[in-house]
Amino acid sequence: MAGKGKVTSSKVASKASKMLQDGRSSARTRSVAASALAQAKGGKKAK
């Protein structure tokens, strides 16, 4: 499914970041948030 060219909006990426920082988020929520951030445009990427 790769190659569709979809990019997460900055608004969604911001909300996803907050979900990852919230210690009360479930594992599934963190997984979805991490996926959204991985598809976000710009930002820092791990080496």
pLDDT tens-digit map of 8-23: 899 999 999 999 999 9
Average pLDDT over residues 24-43: 91
Domain ranges of the chain: 9-40
**Residue 1 pLDDT > 80:** no
What's the mean per-residue pLDDT of the chain? 85
pTM here is 0.70
CB burial of 12-39 (b: ≥16 within 10 Å; e: otherwise) equals ebeebbebbeeeeeeeeeeeebeebbee
Whole-number CA gyration radius for the chain: 11
pLDDT score of 27: 96
Tokens coding 4? 């569709």
Q: What is the spatial distance between Cα 34 and Cα 10, in angstroms, rounded to a whole number?
A: 14
Nearest to 15 by CA among 25, 3, 27: 25
